[in-house]
Amino acid sequence: MIVAYSSFIKNQLLIDGEWCLSADEKTFAVVNPATGEPIAQVANATPADATRAIDAAVRAQITWAEKAANERSRLLRCWFDLVMQNQEALAQLLTLEQGKPLAEARAEIAYGASYIEWFAEEAKRIYGDVIPPLANNQRIHVIKQPVGVVAAITPWNFPCAMLARKLAPALAAGCAVVAKPAAETPLSALALAQLALEAGIPAGVINILPSAHAQAIGVEFTTNTHVRKLSFTGSTAVGKTLIAQCAPGVKRITLELGGNAPFIVFDDADLDAAVAGAIAAKFRNAGQTCVCANRFYIHQSVYDLFCQKLTAGMQALKLGNGFDDEVTVGPLISLRAKEKVQGFVDDAVRRGARIAFQTPIQNSFQAHPAGHGAQDNFFAPTVLVDVTQDARLACEEIFGPVIGLIPFATEVQAIQLANASDYGLAAYFYTRDTNRIKRLCDQLQTGMVGVNTGLISNAAAPFGGIKQSGWGREGSRYGLDDYLDIKYLCETFS
Ligand code: ADP
């Protein structure tokens, strides 16, 4: 492999177009989750840095919003081109700090970039409205304006795409952003911002604050009155805290929170397609995505056959360092994450489940010899059978490569089981019955439904959840609404 990422390792804060140290000049370590080796010491933003970044964003936002929409569009397009031209370097950096296989990292860079491209185009189509008035001496106009300064908090599972999905619509709308990436993966965010500067996006429009002081930065983001909107992707628990913190200031919020996606396979399904969909929906990013299939409901008449086909399909999975070309499943992000996933498996087994299959673990050690002696974050892809609905892995987000199979008898029961969750992000089902497709699409209580597919994310579609999975949508034309205020103009004539 030709190492391409070196020039993209930035280890300082980006405030007002300048790379700088944190106010207290402290740093924190970013570590390769596959090997435990340190990658960089990164400036650790303090709340005072956040305040400074917000002040810079306030100034920058005014002139950014004054630019003609096609000028903002042109700069976003230029940024998109630079991201794609540097796809390989950015993908390597992503694998280095996040662990996902390089092929998936390349796909994430393209996926993140696709939001920049999409919103470069949407920037020109922020239409208003003219409404027929109730009195004929009046004229009613509706215009849309940027909300102002946006604070963004992003997770470590898609460090490039989750940030691009917020920055692109915010910038298209005419907002400026202060962003705090996850402390595990700040390098991809800094690299993305570096390319934005190179593309000509003005100083202060994008500010990046890597920080290990998540809570304190969150308090500044949510209480600073100059911040008009918060966009958060992460856990439901932190989302609830942020809602409470935003309440006194009545700050607008977009939340992409946890999921607990059901994956239903009916007896009339194409089982080979369902197995391929299950593997795609479960093992991408080692199971660490919020739309990962989390609960597998399989019709009792095809339960054994599905399990057989699934375990046969999983023979092709290879666990190891994401830089190894053959590897399809990388490490989990941390030892804590691994222990959590192990806890789900142990709990299911205590309740009567049985491990039907596990990918051979030695692959990981062969693939990352440099990791010997370092902590081992690898978790073998696992299938459990006879899982009960009360098992923790059926109730909570697993965030790991574990499939628990639960049998069901009827369509009504499958829908009830699927909807018996506080979460409502994604759902997947496989069937050939067109009437059943209609019934499930109507009745499943989630923001997104995959019908005979395990992959649903793309820039053209509105990504988001209902129930405790969040508020608002990202991507598509709906994704701009969260960054726009509606202003109604009432003109009266004599
Ligand atoms: P995960 O458990 O997957 O890491 P989190 O919700 O804890 O999910 O993290 C998502 C993002 O939220 C990260 O950038 C993290 O640093 C940040 N975060 C965590 N706790 C808080 C908090 N109390 N206030 C603001 N941001 C937080």
Could you tell me the domains of the chain?
6-257+469-489 (3.40.605.10), 261-458 (3.40.309.10)
Residue nearest to atom 14 of ligand 1 (CA): 182
CA-angle at 236, arms to 234 and 241, nearest 5°: 95
Q: How far is CA 59 from CA 100, 123, 253, 474, in A?
A: 38, 21, 22, 26
Compute the mean pLDDT over every residue in the chain, rounded to the nearest whole number. 96
How many CA atoms within 13 Å lie on the side-chain side of 350? 10
Q: How far is the CA of 443 from the centre of ligand 1 (A)?
A: 32
CA-angle at 483, arms to 447 and 172, nearest 5°: 110
Atom of ligand 1 nearest to the CA of 241: 23
Structure tokens at 133: 């008035």
Which of 475, 450, 451, 453 lies closest to 462 in space, CA to CA? 475
CA-angle at 113, arms to 35 and 446, nearest 5°: 85
Q: Which pLDDT belongs to residue 372?
A: 45
Ligand 1 within 6 A of CB of 235: yes
Tell me the sheet residues that pair with 205: none
Atom of ligand 1 nearest to the CA of 157: 3
Tell me the residue type at 253.
I
What is the tens place of the pLDDT at every residue in 96-152?
Answer: 999 999 999 999 999 999 999 999 999 999 999 999 999 999 999 999 999 999 999
Tell me the residue type at 4.
A
Ligand 1 within 6 A of CB of 153: yes
Q: In this structure, is the dihedral angle defined by the CA atoms of residues 369, 279, 87 and 191, taken in order, positive or negative?
A: negative
Confidence of residue 367 (pLDDT cuts 50, 70, 90): very low
Residue nearest to atom 18 of ligand 1 (CA): 214
- Dihedral, CA atoms, 389, 395, 399, 400, nearest 10 degrees? -20
Ligand 1 within 6 A of CB of 183: yes
Q: How far is CA 391 from CA 346, 381, 394, in A?
A: 10, 18, 5
Atom of ligand 1 nearest to the CA of 399: 3
Atom of ligand 1 nearest to the CA of 211: 16
Q: Which pLDDT belongs to residue 366?
A: 43
Task: Please tell me the distance from the alpha carbon of residue 295 to that of residue 321, in angstroms, as a whole number.
Answer: 27
Ligand 1 within 6 A of CB of 155: yes
Task: Please tell me the distance from the alpha carbon of residue 245 to that of residue 298, in angstroms, as a whole number.
Answer: 41
SS3 for the chain is CCCCCHHHCCCCEEECCEEECCCCCCEEEEECCCCCCEEEEEECCCHHHHHHHHHHHHHHHHHHHHCCHHHHHHHHHHHHHHHHHCHHHHHHHHHHHHCCCHHHHHHHHHHHHHHHHHHHHHHHHCCCEEECCCCCCEEEEEEEEECCEEEEECCCCCCCHHHHHHHHHHHHHCCEEEEECCCCCHHHHHHHHHHHHHHCCCCCCEEECCCCCHHHHHHHHHHCCCEEEEEEECCHHHHHHHHHHHCCCCCEEEEECCCCEEEEECCCCCHHHHHHHHHHHHHHHHHCCCCCEEEEEEECCCHHHHHHHHHHHHHHCCECCCCCCCCCECCCCCHHHHHHHHHHHHHHHHCCCEEEEECCCHHHHHHCHHHCCCCCCCCCCEEEECCCCCCHHHHCCCCCCEEEEEEECCHHHHHHHHHCCCEECEEEEECCCHHHHHHHHHHCCCCEEEECCCCCCCCCCCECCEECCEECCECCHHHHHHHEEEEEEEEECC
CA-angle at 313, arms to 369 and 109, nearest 5°: 60
Question: What average pLDDT does the segment 480-486 reach?
Answer: 97
Ligand 1 within 6 A of CB of 219: no
Ligand 1 within 6 A of CB of 182: yes
Question: What average pLDDT does the segment 230-236 reach?
Answer: 98
pLDDT above 50: residue 23 = yes
Tell me the residue type at 300.
Q
Q: How far is the CA of 128 from the centre of ligand 1 (A)?
A: 36
Q: Which pLDDT belongs to residue 1?
A: 81
Task: Please tell me the distance from the alpha carbon of residue 77 to that of residue 69, in angstroms, as a whole number.
Answer: 12
User: What is the residue whose two structure tokens read 């390098």?
Assistant: 187
Q: Which pLDDT belongs to residue 60?
A: 98
Ligand 1 within 6 A of CB of 50: no
What is the tens place of the pLDDT at every residue in 372-411?
Answer: 445 699 999 999 999 999 999 999 999 999 999 999 999 9
Mutate to test the pocket of ligand 1, among 42, 157, 163, 235 (most ligand atoms within 8 A of CB): 235
Residues noted as catalytic: 256, 290
Q: Is 298 in contact with 265 (CB distance < 8 Å)?
A: yes
Q: How far is the CA of 383 from the centre of ligand 1 (A)?
A: 29
Q: How far is the CA of 457 from the centre of ligand 1 (A)?
A: 22
Q: How far is the CA of 151 from the centre of ligand 1 (A)?
A: 14
CA 168 to the chain's CA centroid: 14
Which of 77, 79, 92, 81 lies closest to 8 in space, CA to CA? 92
Question: What average pLDDT does the segment 59-78 reach?
Answer: 98
Atom of ligand 1 nearest to the CA of 218: 25
Structure tokens at 389: 């609905």
pLDDT above 60: residue 371 = no
Ligand 1 within 6 A of CB of 41: no
Confidence of residue 466 (pLDDT cuts 50, 70, 90): very high
User: What is the residue whose two structure tokens read 């031209």?
Assistant: 85
Q: Which pLDDT belongs to residue 373?
A: 44
Structure tokens at 6: 């070196």
Confidence of residue 368 (pLDDT cuts 50, 70, 90): very low
Mutate to test the pocket of ligand 1, among 238, 242, 255 (most ligand atoms within 8 A of CB): 238
In the chain, what is the greatest distance between 2 CA atoms, to the nearest angstrom? 83
Q: Which pLDDT belongs to residue 274?
A: 98
Q: How far is the CA of 214 from the centre of ligand 1 (A)?
A: 6
Q: How far is the CA of 204 from the centre of ligand 1 (A)?
A: 24
pLDDT above 80: residue 369 = no
- Dihedral, CA atoms, 458, 459, 461, 466, nearest 10 degrees? 90
Q: Which pLDDT belongs to residue 375?
A: 64
Q: Which pLDDT belongs to residue 360?
A: 83
Task: Please tell me the distance from the alpha carbon of residue 148 to that of residue 230, in angstroms, as a whole number.
Answer: 11
pTM above 0.85, yes or no: yes
Ligand 1 within 6 A of CB of 475: no
Residue nearest to atom 25 of ligand 1 (CA): 218
What is the tens place of the pLDDT at every residue in 298-356?
Answer: 999 999 999 999 999 999 999 999 999 999 999 999 999 999 999 999 999 999 999 99
Which of 168, 195, 242, 222 lies closest to 14 in space, CA to CA? 195
Mutate to test the pocket of ligand 1, among 30, 153, 185, 209 (most ligand atoms within 8 A of CB): 153
Q: How far is the CA of 266 from the centre of ligand 1 (A)?
A: 37
Residue nearest to atom 4 of ligand 1 (CA): 155
pLDDT above 80: residue 427 = yes
Q: How far is the CA of 24 from the centre of ligand 1 (A)?
A: 22
Ligand 1 within 6 A of CB of 214: yes
What is the tens place of the pLDDT at every residue in 253-281?
Answer: 999 999 999 999 999 999 999 999 999 99
Tell me the sheet residues that pair with 41: 29
